[in-house]
A and B are shown apart, each in its own frame.
Chain A
Amino acid sequence: AQSVTQLGSHVSVSEGALVLLRCNYSSSVPPYLFWYVQYPNQGLQLLLKYTTGATLVKGINGFEAEFKKSETSFHLTKPSAHMSDAAEYFCAVSDITQGGSEKLVFGKGTKLTVNP
């Protein structure tokens, strides 16, 4: 079964600074990878996904992530943080259930704080 590790449950950056949120997955076979964002009292929204092809994936709100097979990583970055980026971010990987259906396995999340 797949697993996802997000390093750092809390990350704090200054407005305008680089945002780097780390995600590592366990699969030896290239999986499908997703980053979601959750704003307070809301559901999860898709930021970006990697399926096949280009390993640098661009998403909404200026975020991007790079798939590195050799490092089994899919870190999320944004060059310049904005106050509105304060939220919780979840990395997820596709997996197969015991019943043969497809599901997502989520990391435990990283809460991003942006300081003025």
Chain B
Amino acid sequence: NAGVTQTPKFQVLKTGQSMTLQCAQDMNHNSMYWYRQDPGMGLRLIYYSASEGTTDKGEVPNGYNVSRLNKREFSLRLESAAPSQTSVYFCASRTGGSDQPQHFGDGTRLSIL
């Protein structure tokens, strides 16, 4: 009964390094999302995937790329990390329409020095 699994849980990077955050869900959900959470800012949508094979930009996409590898997996890549990308990153998934809730992973805590 894993739900949404994110790896790694913690990571420290140096400015300019690249990294991929992994997300997998075992609920057969069509839609998947990446958010960042910063103190006092709530959750802001980075990218989303409405279905396998499609991705689109959210509110704060600059500096990020995504891949919807298959129905289960949705990865987030930082090509050249910047200190402003220090944040907690959450992956979520959902089935059905907008009346259905999103299910969240436990997050990846990323620090960029």
Contacts and interface: CB of A to CB of B under 8 A. Distances in A.
A27 to B, nearest CB: 12
A97 B41 contact: no
A28 interface: no
A45 B99 contact: no
B4 A32 contact: no
Contacts of B45: 103-104
B99 A94 contact: yes
Interface of A: 9, 32, 34, 36, 41-46, 49, 51-52, 90, 94, 97, 99, 101-104, 106-109
21 contacts: A9-B40, A36-B104, A41-B107, A43-B4, A43-B106, A44-B92, A44-B104, A45-B104, A46-B103, A51-B99, A52-B99, A94-B99, A97-B58, A101-B50, A102-B31, A103-B45, A103-B48, A104-B102, A107-B42, A108-B40, A109-B40
